[in-house]
Homo-oligomer: A and B are copies of this chain.
Amino acid sequence: MIIEIKEWLKEAAGFIQVSLTQKLRVSQKSGRTDLVTNIDEETQSFLVKKIKQNYPDDRILAEERGFDKIESLNGRVWIIDPIDGTMNFVLEQENFCIMLAVFEDGIGQLGFIYDVMKEELYWGGKNRGVFLNDQPMVRPKDASLSEGLLGMNAYMYGKNIHSAGEIGHASMGIRVSGCAGVELIAMLKGNHIGYISNLSPWDYAAGLVLMDEFGFRYSNIEGKPLAFSKREYFLAATPKAYTEIQEHFIQNSK
């Protein structure tokens, strides 16, 4: 299964790279800054078709067009974001990812985050470790909040939602990339100690599998399990930084 998923992702990435030399069709979803393109939709269709051909009994949860709700995580479920960071895809033509996760009965089994323009595939699975392309990655140090950089949703930071502004000030600084995949990769590399944002299941599913392998902690911002059924405020961090953020900022503000 891993080998074929990698092949699908590379084929999809090649298709996306070529698409950047052509005219995109861009539409708005919920508002002016929530975009979708024909390439998001075509990439999702390609991956859905591959899954249905090879695993016809599995179910799929994905960002675009009718795949964005699922009744439960029972059985085997594929969770897909065909282009995570669509705004970056459209305006920067870089800093976006394909994300794909395989869950079984609610437990993450495989996760893939593909930085398409850098051609870097971060992947791994339960008790398998985490790899960058073919190289095993090293588990990052358990750094505290004051020692590290924190990926952040700009709106939460600016409005101090769930103390995000104060949490940012307690860190070494915030970074805003506009792409959950890019932020999760920064954590896996040990570049950032955490990430606070407002995410849907396809934004975090692949990342959770990889973060489990490296011992990161994650939940919704209030410390409850992620729902996999809606957009919600999201916190992931090193064990030390996660505990500090929960104890000093989130619980205090209640």
The interface residues of chain B lying within 8 Å CB-to-CB of A191 are 91-94
Stretch among A104-112, A167-175, A204-212, A227-235 lining the B interface: A167-175
Find residues 168-204 in chain A having any chain B CB closer than 8 Å to their own CB.
Answer: 168, 172-178, 186, 189, 191-192
Contacts of A97 in B (CB 8 A): none
Q: Is A22 in contact with chain B by the CB < 8 A criterion?
A: no
> Considering the chains assembled together, what is the distance between the CA atoms of A157 and B165 in angstroms?
11
Q: Are B172 and A91 in contact (CB under 8 A)?
A: yes
A223 to chain B, nearest CB (A): 24
**Distance of A173 from chain B, by nearest CB (Å):** 6
Say yes or no: A175 contacts B172, CB within 8 Å.
no
Q: A157-B158, A168-B158 are in contact. Are A149 and B186 (CB under 8 A)?
A: no
How many copies of the shown chain assemble into the complex?
Answer: 2
Contacts of A176 in B (CB 8 A): 152, 154, 174-176
> In chain A, residues 124-157, which have Cβ atoms closer than 8 Å to a Cβ of chain B?
146, 148-149, 152, 154, 157
A253 located at the interface, meaning its Cβ lies under 8 Å from any Cβ of chain B in the complex: no
Interface class of chain A by DSSP:
mixed
CB neighbors of B among A63-103 (8 A): 87-88, 91-94
Answer yes or no: A53 CB below 8 A from chain B CBs: no
Given the interface contacts A168-B158, A178-B149, does A87 sit within 8 Å of B173 by beta carbon?
A: yes
A33 at the interface (CB under 8 A from B): yes
Q: Least Cβ distance of A174 to chain B in Å?
A: 5
Please name the residue on chain B nearest to A189 by beta carbon.
B92
CB distance from A109 to the nearest CB of B (A): 30
Instruction: Give chain B residues whose Cβ lies under 8 Å from the Cβ of A173.
Output: 33, 87, 154, 178
**Assuming the A-B contacts A149-B87, A157-B158, are A172 and B33 also in contact, with contact meaning beta carbons closer than 8 angstroms in the complex?**
yes
Identify the closest chain B residue to A118 (Cβ).
Answer: B118
**A23 CB, nearest partner CB in chain B, Å:** 14
Q: Is the CB of A178 within 8 A of B178?
A: no
Docked pose: A157 CA to B160 CA in angstroms? 12
Q: List 27 A-B contacts (CB under 8 A).
A: A32-B172, A33-B172, A33-B173, A87-B149, A87-B172, A91-B149, A91-B172, A91-B192, A92-B149, A92-B189, A92-B192, A94-B191, A152-B154, A152-B176, A154-B168, A154-B174, A157-B157, A157-B158, A158-B158, A158-B160, A158-B165, A158-B168, A173-B178, A174-B176, A175-B176, A175-B177, A177-B177
